[in-house]
Amino acid sequence: MSNYQAGLEFAVIQDQNDPLATFREQFHIPKDKDGKPLIYLTGNSLGLQPKSTKHYINQELEDWANLGVDGHTHAKNPWLPYHEFLTETMAEIVGAKPIEVVVMNTLTANLHFMMASFYKPTKTRYKILIEADAFPSDKYAVESQLRHHGFDDKEGLILWKAPEGQELLNYEDLDSILKTQGHEIALILLGGINYYTGQFLDLKRITNVGHQHGCIVGFDCAHGAGNVKLNLHDSGADFAVWCTYKYLNSGPGSLAGCFVHERHAYNKKLNRFTGWWSHNKQTRFNMRHEFDVLPGAEGWQLSNPPILSMAAIKASLDIFKAAGMEALTEKSKKLTGYFEFLLEQLNNKNIKIITPKNPEERGCQLSIQVKNANKALFDKLTQAGVISDWREPDVIRCAPVPLYNSFQDVYYMVEKLKALLND
């Protein structure tokens, strides 16, 4: 969609014709002190709460109160297999097969569990490649893995950097790194969507070239799950991890997701940390059996899952199932394209969008770089009722989320920004 128009009328008409417009009503929209809805554009940091979440959690609290331990088998949604209620929809969202997906632990914990299995360094092939501006937690995690295996965490880390004076990563630079150092690289671990620029990497292209050089390839999809079509199975990636509290609206610090490609599903020889929830379900409660690992991603579980957190995830996934990723990504491209159009209409030399222009190379986030930034513009925007996100040194991140943001949200945000820039 490229026939965008300035003026409020266009936004109103788009919202009236939006087949997903009613989903906004299923979320709690934060309000200012006068009770007016805020313009919430930080679903890339913490998604809004579905109104159904309280009901889903209360169901488990009631079953716990009324059934006690029998809730494991007799709750409305029995607790023993509860994680299985999430698998199919989560697999659809990330483009995977059910056997490849499990909801467990938290994001960085899952990253470490994946590296326990897939980072297999030798004396000559031990290095890890990440993007130079990776999310800090990923960088800390891989550095600690290098140290854990007895390697220097600076010498063993290879950084894929954007070209001088640019913000976006260049695939030719990656090819060059792999041609010269691929034989030393044991693991490529990249953010599927970069948290800072919003650049959506070509997972399949990276996986193919990584595998050609004998590297294991994994992705942190925290900013991709529920935002873009990840197509994890088709990408061929060995593994991926993601959180659920951003675009998947599961609540602060909620459980995370994990993908392991099906070609690894029945490989019992893969080194891994184990616990009783990765053991054969048929004999799990016969306590004296030798360990018998489950096939697929479930085989990386450790403990019985926290049901209250999973209930919140289920509430959100049921909304995703009703909306469908196809419709969500279609609206997302229109909404973010409209946002981009309005920002460019400002024609202001003090702001620049650093997110890729190609809709296929981004999700819903636009990263607005502010010239001579000192956070003042961001603070004024917040005071004006726009909830966005500041990232050092000079970027305001805004993510119009198709499930609950409207075209009018975008219109009014840019109008407020225009007023502040002209102030």
CA pair distance 194, 361, nearest whole angstrom: 11
Tell me the CATH architecture of domain 83-304: 3-Layer(aba) Sandwich (3.40)
* Mean pLDDT (the chain, rounded): 96
**How confident is the model over 135-153, as a mean pLDDT?**
97
Neighbours of 65 (CB within 10 A): 9
What pLDDT, on the 0 to 100 scale, is given for residue 94?
Answer: 98
Give tens-digit pLDDT for 67-84.
Answer: 999 999 999 999 999 999
Non-local (6+) Cβ contacts of 130 within 8 A are 138, 139, 142, 157, 158, 159, 160, 188, 189, 190
Give tens-digit pLDDT for 356-386.
Answer: 999 999 999 999 999 987 899 999 999 999 9
Query: Which of these, 372, 368, 43, 378, lies nearest to 196 by C-alpha position?
Result: 368
What 87-92 contacts at long range (C-beta under 8 Å, 24+ apart), as own/partner pairs, is: 89/317, 89/318, 89/320, 89/321, 90/257, 90/317, 92/321, 92/325
Reported as half-sphere exposure (CB side, CA atoms, 13 A), residue 64 has a value of 11
Residue 1 has pLDDT above 70, yes or no: no
Neighbours of 122 (CB within 10 A): 9
Residue 12 has pLDDT above 70, yes or no: yes
CA pair distance 182, 421, nearest whole angstrom: 47
Domain boundaries, the chain: 8-48+325-421, 83-304
The letter for the amino acid at 226 is: G
Confidence of residue 285 (pLDDT cuts 50, 70, 90): confident
Biggest CA pair distance of the chain: 73
What pLDDT, on the 0 to 100 scale, is given for residue 301?
Answer: 96
From residue 404, how far is each of 41, 93, 330, 411 by CA, in Å? 10, 17, 14, 15
Write the DSSP symbol of residue 49: P
Non-local (6+) Cβ contacts of 397 within 8 A are 42, 44, 45, 196, 198, 365, 366, 367, 368, 388, 389, 390, 391
Reported as half-sphere exposure (CB side, CA atoms, 13 A), residue 129 has a value of 27
Residue 259 has pLDDT above 90, yes or no: yes
**How confident is the model over 286-301, as a mean pLDDT?**
92
Q: State the first-to-last Cα distance of the chain, in angstroms, to the nearest integer.
A: 32
CA pair distance 234, 217, nearest whole angstrom: 13
CA pair distance 124, 258, nearest whole angstrom: 29
Reported as half-sphere exposure (CB side, CA atoms, 13 A), residue 75 has a value of 24
What superfamily in CATH does domain 8-48+325-421 come from?
Aspartate Aminotransferase, domain 1 (3.90.1150.10)
What pLDDT, on the 0 to 100 scale, is given for residue 312?
Answer: 98
Contact call for residues 420 and 63 (beta carbons, < 8 A) = no
**How confident is the model over 40-60, as a mean pLDDT?**
98
What ranges in 70-135 are assigned the alpha helix state H? 71-74, 84-94, 107-118
% of the chain with per-residue pLDDT over 90: 95
Give tens-digit pLDDT for 265-282.
Answer: 999 999 999 999 999 998
What pLDDT, on the 0 to 100 scale, is given for residue 2?
Answer: 66
Confidence of residue 423 (pLDDT cuts 50, 70, 90): confident
Residue 421 has pLDDT above 80, yes or no: yes
β-bridge partners, 321: none
**How confident is the model over 134-147, as a mean pLDDT?**
97
What pLDDT, on the 0 to 100 scale, is given for residue 374?
Answer: 83
User: Hey, CA dihedral for 404, 410, 415, 416, is it positive or negative?
Assistant: positive
Give tens-digit pLDDT for 172-215.
Answer: 999 999 999 999 999 999 999 999 999 999 999 999 999 999 99
Query: Which of these, 63, 85, 86, 61, lies nearest to 74 by C-alpha position?
Result: 63
Neighbours of 7 (CB within 10 A): 8
From residue 16, how far is each of 12, 138, 200, 205 by CA, in Å? 6, 41, 30, 39
**How confident is the model over 48-64, as a mean pLDDT?**
98
**How confident is the model over 203-228, as a mean pLDDT?**
98
Dihedral angle of Cα 317, 301, 229, 95, to the nearest 10 degrees: -100
Query: Which of these, 234, 353, 275, lies nearest to 104 by C-alpha position?
Result: 275
Helix and strand totals (H; E) in the chain = 13, 13
Structure tokens at 230: 């990840």
What pLDDT, on the 0 to 100 scale, is given for residue 286?
Answer: 85
- DSSP secondary structure string, 341-404? HHHHHH--TTEEE-S-SSGGGB-S-EEEEETT--SHHHHHHHHTTEE-EEETTTEEEEB--TTT
| Single pTM value for the model | 0.96
CA pair distance 112, 142, nearest whole angstrom: 8
Contact call for residues 367 and 355 (beta carbons, < 8 A) = yes
% of the chain with per-residue pLDDT over 70: 100
